[in-house]
């Protein structure tokens, strides 16, 4: 009988460290005033939060409505 070879171990993606002042809506650094989601404490720049509120978009992380 042939000896079976084990498959190689899985390659995990590198750990990603997200900057604390990073807006998940426009995918960039937050400049100026900050809006913090009351449910999950995710931070957004005020400009993106206002736009998300008028368009009835949800928080990227916890899926709650962005209310201001």
Q: Which residues of the chain have pLDDT under 70?
A: 1-2, 15-19
pLDDT given at position 9: 84
pLDDT given at position 67: 81
User: Which residue, chain included where needed, has tokens 């998300």?
Assistant: 52
pLDDT given at position 52: 93
The pLDDT tens digits of the residues spanning 35-54 come to 999 999 999 999 999 999 99
pLDDT given at position 16: 62
Sequence ranges of the domains in the chain: 20-68
Task: In whole angstroms, give the CA distance from residue 32 to residue 64.
Answer: 23
User: What's the topology of domain 20-68?
Assistant: Herpes Virus-1 (3.30.40)
Q: pTM of the full predicted structure?
A: 0.67
pLDDT given at position 17: 66
**Helix extents (H) in 5-56:** 46-54
């Amino acid at each position: 009988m042939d000896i079976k070879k084990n498959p190689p171990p899985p390659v995990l993606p590198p750990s990603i460290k997200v900057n604390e002042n990073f807006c998940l809506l426009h995918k960039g650094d937050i400049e100026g005033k900050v809006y913090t989601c009351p449910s999950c404490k995710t931070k957004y720049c005020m400009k993106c939060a206002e736009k998300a509120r008028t368009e009835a978009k949800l928080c990227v992380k916890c899926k709650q409505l962005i209310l201001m």
